[in-house]
Amino acid sequence: MAGVSVQAFRRQGRRFGAGLVCSEMVSCAGLHHGNERTLGYLRIAADEHPLAVQIFGSEPALMAEAARMVEDAGADIVDINFGCPVRKVTKTGAGATLLEDGDRACRIVEAVAGAVQAPVSVKMRRGLEDGSRSCLEVGPRLVDAGAASLTLHPRSARQMYTGTADHSLTAEFVDRVDVPVIACGDITSRARAQAVLATTGAEAVMVGRGAQGNPWVLREIVDGAEAEPTREEVAAELILFVRETARELGERRASGFLKKFYGWYLGRGRFPRQFKQELVRLETTDEVVERLLVAAPGAAGLLERLEAEQPSVDDALLELPVSIYGGG
């Protein structure tokens, strides 16, 4: 969810029924060196709670320092990433690589758990290679080191996001550890969530890619509500998301960041395919909003209600450069 789970995405998730939301992964090295963009990930709005902030790195001391920083910023849970399969992360010894270095993984969890009062959770994959069962060995050790809960995405790092998540492994994993397990991977409907919970014994499910441009799936999973929105509802939610993201990131950064979201929102047969390309070519977020309102005039009233109900942002006051609050 790197490059996706910004504040606007998390606040939307909470509004649609998510019991817990999580930040995109935050580099402990970036926090240590005071990188401005990395520090910006620690902006937390009052209506995001409960919120987990996820950190990644390979050095126990730096991870402990990062954990203290995210707790001070207001995180309710400190989450450790042992699952990222992307090469630029794994080549540094972080992310999914740590599933093959159990001793270092345990030292990291122990250092983080000893540095904060907040519960520590760990997000992990099954292992680096297809068919790996490393998680079954490492999981109990992470609990002994101080992890209060574990999230398993039962794909290998090599798989990235291809194939299917093997939740039979999740069931084995649940039997191996005595802390709550969250099942992640291919949770795209209420029926699928119920099946995974019933067959694995997991305490909860985590929704990631399934909610990209589709927050309605969260409401369906939680209470069984109709998942498919009207065109006007789609346009209103996208406009609110665009405006909130521009507020958070600034117009210049947001205009490029948002382009991938247009396809996510407008796909699934909701709008003609060429409409997405039309939005991508527009230069400003104001132009995007204007074009959406032309395409779905009925969205204006829905948008007005959504904005009236949206709590004002009360970001945690961090000792950050002024330019972060000025838009990135």
Note the pTM of the prediction, 2 decimals.
Answer: 0.91
Q: What is the pLDDT of residues 73-128, one digit of tens each?
A: 999 999 999 999 999 999 999 999 999 999 999 999 999 999 999 999 999 999 99
Do 157 and 28 have their domain in common?
yes
In whole angstroms, give the CA distance from residue 233 to residue 231: 5
Do 156 and 96 have their domain in common?
yes
Domain with 146 in it: what CATH number? 3.20.20.70
Among residues 185, 196, 234, 197, the alpha carbon closest in space to that of 213 is found at 234
The kind and range of the H/E element at 54 are strand 51-56
The percentage of the chain sitting over the pLDDT mark of 90, rounded to a whole number, equals: 88
Residue where a domain terminates, one of 186, 206, 223: 223
Residue type at position 267: G
Residue where a domain terminates, one of 164, 191, 223: 223
Q: What is the pLDDT of residues 202-215, one digit of tens each?
A: 999 999 999 999 99
Residue spans of alpha helices (H) in the chain: 7-15, 28-32, 36-40, 60-73, 87-90, 102-115, 134-145, 167-176, 190-200, 216-223, 231-249, 251-257, 259-266, 273-281, 285-295, 299-309, 322-325
Among residues 146, 130, 29, 31, the alpha carbon closest in space to that of 89 is found at 29
- Whether 261 is covered by a domain: the verdict is yes
Query: Among the listed ranges 175-184, 228-237, 309-318, which one has the minimum average pLDDT value?
Result: 309-318
Q: For residue 326, is pLDDT > 70? A: no
The percentage of the chain sitting over the pLDDT mark of 70, rounded to a whole number, equals: 95
Number of domains in the chain: 2
Residue where a domain terminates, one of 223, 256, 286: 223
- Whether 53 is covered by a domain: the verdict is yes
From residue 217, alpha-carbon distances to 203, 242, 267, 270 in Å are 19, 20, 14, 15
Strands 21-22 and 51-56: parallel
What is the mean predicted confidence (pLDDT) over 13-40?
Answer: 94
Q: What angle do CA 41, 208, 77 make, to 5 degrees?
A: 50
What is the mean predicted confidence (pLDDT) over 277-299?
Answer: 96
Enter the DSSP assignment of 129.
S
Q: For residue 275, is pLDDT > 60? A: yes
In whole angstroms, give the CA distance from residue 288 to residue 263: 13
Q: For residue 231, is pLDDT > 60? A: yes
| Residue carrying structure tokens 């994993």 | 173
Do 217 and 70 have their domain in common?
yes
- Whether 240 is covered by a domain: the verdict is yes
- Whether 25 is covered by a domain: the verdict is yes
In whole angstroms, give the CA distance from residue 236 to residue 269: 17
Q: Which residues contact 97 (CB under 8 A, 6 or more apart)?
A: 58, 90, 91, 128, 157
The answer to whether the beta carbons of residues 167 and 136 sit under 8 Å apart is no
- Whether 1 is covered by a domain: the verdict is no
Q: For residue 52, is pLDDT > 70? A: yes
In whole angstroms, give the CA distance from residue 60 to residue 80: 11
Do 219 and 235 have their domain in common?
no
- Structural domain that includes position 168: 7-223
Q: Give the residue numbers annotated as catalytic, written as ranges.
A: 84
The answer to whether the beta carbons of residues 6 and 42 sit under 8 Å apart is no
